[in-house]
Structure formats: C-alpha cells, structure tokens
Amino acid sequence: MSAELPAAYLDTVFILQDPPDPLPLAFAIVTAFNPMDEAQSPDENWAADLRLQGRLAAVGWERFRATGCSPDQSHTEPGWAIVCPLDAAVDLARHFNQRAIWWIEHDQLHLIGCENPNPQPVARFSDRVLPS
C-alpha cells in the first residue's frame, strides 16, 4: 500500500442513502470532509460538503449520498457517490484537498490515492455496504 494512505482506509464500510437500484456499473465516492485527514469542525465539514454539492450540481453528474465509516461507525465521513470518469473524480478530490477516493467498478472496491492514482483492489463493494 502507498505510504501516504492510512491503513485504516482499507477497513472502510459504507452507508448509502437512496441509491439507485441497480447501482451504476462504475462510480466514485468522494468526500469534502477532513481534508488531508485533518479534523475539521462540523461547521467547516458541512460547509465543504455544500461546496462539493454545488460543484456536482453544476456539472450535472448523477449522484447519491455515500458515507464512509469505520467498521464500528465511530468515525464517519459523509461523501457522494458520483457517476463520472475516474480522472474527473480524482481531480475533484484533489480540489477538495483529499488524500484518496474510492472507485467502484463491477462491484469491485478500489482505493485510489490522489497523489499516485493507481487503483488498489480492496474488496467486493457489496460486502462493504451496511444494511439500511
């Protein structure tokens, strides 16, 4: 694993809000919360999320809420599942000063660092989605 990405990323599980059925064949999950893993206040995080939502609305990409969590849900970071090209998702995450994105393609979950965007296979995405 790339040295710049915390090992805890590999344990991430997801909560999806109003996802399409079926899920898109390929999509990214991007957050604006806690840039570069630096804890922000709730107000700062939600303000960043609103900026991200505005950017997504401006480009018109299909999206739905996707929250990444630690397995015990003690840490959560709301983000967006976005149907867009992989390079566009990485650029978007870089704009919001994020270390990485998640890329899901054909139910395979990949972790992709923004500095070194080589996909690292992690698990089946469906195995990481918590029941709603």
Return d(Cα 32, Cα 41) in angstroms, integer.
13
User: What does the pLDDT look like over 34-46, one tens digit per residue?
Assistant: 999 999 999 999 9
pTM: 0.95
Give the pair of three-digit tokens for residue 128.
């990481």
Helix (H) or strand (E) holding 42: helix 42-59
User: What does the pLDDT look like over 84-99, one tens digit per residue?
Assistant: 999 999 999 999 999 9
pLDDT greater than 50 at residue 2: no
Residues with Cβ < 8 Å from 64, sequence gap 6 or more?
16, 17, 18, 19, 20, 80, 81
Give the pair of three-digit tokens for residue 110.
């990949």
Secondary structure (3-state) at 52: helix
**pLDDT tier, 1 (very low <50, low <70, confident <90, very high otherwise):** very low
